[in-house]
Amino acid sequence: MLRHHLRTRANVTVAAAAAGLAAVALSAAALATDSTGLIPLSDMQPDQNYKSFPGGLYPDNANYVSGRHLAHGLHLAQQIRPLNTAGQPAANGRIVLLTVGMSNTSQESAQFVTLANAFADRNPAVVVVNGAQGGQTAAIISDPSAQFWTVIDQRLAQQGLTAAQVQAVWYKEANASPTGDDIAYAQTLRAQHEAIMQIIRTRYANCRIVYGSSRTYGGYAETALNPEPYAYVSGFSVKWLIQDQIAGDPGLTYGAGGVSPWLQWGPYLWADGLTPRSDGLIWVRDDFGADGTHPSAQGALKVGNMLLSFFATAPTARLWFLQPGLGALLGDMNGDGNIDGFDVDPFVLALIDPAAFAVQYPDVDRVAVGDLNQDGELNGFDVGPFAELLIAY
């Protein structure tokens, strides 16, 4: 009788546990959706916000880096050059672009490495190293003694490279299985980002720039690993980090004596599922694997292409990522390799008479050097940002 009672009780317990797991799975599946109605940070208007937090990738609802911060970033980008294993300038040295993050970052980085290696215009000195690793969340790698950093050292050594040759980083991180208030989650993540920036600065003394990205869409998630809105608010974590550096946060100072690399956005990856972003970006279910969170080969390739486009065109990246002579200096309207008062008249000419500009400066791409707000055009909206850069540079 007792044995039967215990067996029955055990069966009920197992059945209850199974039912509980099924309920969790069904709950996660029920959350999977083609769109959430959330607005990408880059599409938020000045009168829009998320839980009182304004959008835009940069302060003042802007989607481009500008002014003093841009000037400093350009100066630092111009200092990136081939280094030998001891970190000294060398004609046959290397420029290591390291990727840092968790499993999604690793899958996307693998695609980016392949694309970059095949890219004809890539500076032959640039080597992209996939340092991202599965399961290595921001909470884990914000510890300077984490095994994550040792593994990166090993991966560098396997390619005959050293930490002294790491000069730029693509960074994308998150935490696993978040619960509770999403803003609290984003604020914790932002603090961990700062700690990781300090670790990068300490371990890679020649790392000048870190390009940060958000998570991709999390609405298709079939598990609680990192669903919406936690994927969405990861963008705020990066935004706040960069915003605080621009505002002078002592934990994010850069340059000589600084404790962090200089920061700017890399590709902003979040879009609301099937709802097109203003630039047309969408995420379809086939962009993700079975769990709806990790990218499929198709999704990883999509991010890889976004990364390649970014590094080939972003003003602070193209200066060193592209072959020498191909990366135009933003604001250098007369093509003399500097930004100064001699660029004012050429800027005005490029603005009011593009044909005459082309005749006088045949080797200068007026849009590449004059599109300060990075909207793909040179027009009146670039006048203010050009003046800000001219003064700050």
166-194 pLDDT, tens digit per residue, is 999 999 999 999 999 999 999 999 999 99
* Whole-number Cα distances in Å, 161 to 129, 144, 316, 356, 362: 10, 21, 23, 48, 40
**How far is 51 from 392, CA to CA, in rounded Å?**
34
Average pLDDT over the chain, rounded to an integer: 93
pLDDT bucket at 6, cuts 50 / 70 / 90: very low
How large a percentage of the chain has pLDDT more than 70? 92
SS3 label, residue 167:
strand
Evaluate whether 340 touches 147 at the Cβ level (below 8 Å): no
Residue with tokens 């993540």: 189
Fold of 43-321: Rossmann fold (3.40.50)
- Confidence (pLDDT) at 31: 58
Query: Measured in whole angstroms, how far is the alpha carbon of residue 217 from the centre of its chain?
Result: 15
What digits encode the pLDDT tens for the residues 359-377? 999 999 999 999 999 999 9
Looking at residue 32, its pLDDT comes to 85
On whether the CB atoms of residues 109 and 155 are closer than 8 A, the answer is no
Residues of the chain with CATH 3.40.50.1110: 43-321
Query: pTM, whole model, 2 decimals?
Result: 0.92
| Cβ neighbours of 276 (radius 10 Å) | 12
Specify the pLDDT at position 7.
Answer: 38
Tokens of 172: 């994308």
pLDDT band at 30; cut points 50, 70, 90: very low
Mean pLDDT to the nearest integer, 331-335: 98
Tell me: the pLDDT tens digits for 46-64? Answer: 999 999 999 999 999 999 9
Region at 136 (left for phi over 0; alpha for psi -120 to 50; beta for the rest)? beta
DSSP 196-249: HHHHHHHH-TT--EEEE------TT-SSSSS-TTHHHHHHHHHHHHHHHHHTT-
Report the distance separating Cα 326 and Cα 248, nearest Å: 33
Best CA proximity match to 202, nearest among 144, 141, 156, 150 = 144
Instruction: Please say whether the dihedral angle defined by the alpha carbons of residues 374, 380, 381 and 384, taken in this order, is positive or negative.
Output: positive
CA end-to-end span of the chain: 87
| CA-to-CA dists, residue 371 to 120, 246, 311, 378, 381, angstroms | 25, 21, 17, 5, 9
pLDDT at residue 27, as a whole number: 41
Q: How far apart are CA 138 and CA 140, in angstroms?
A: 5
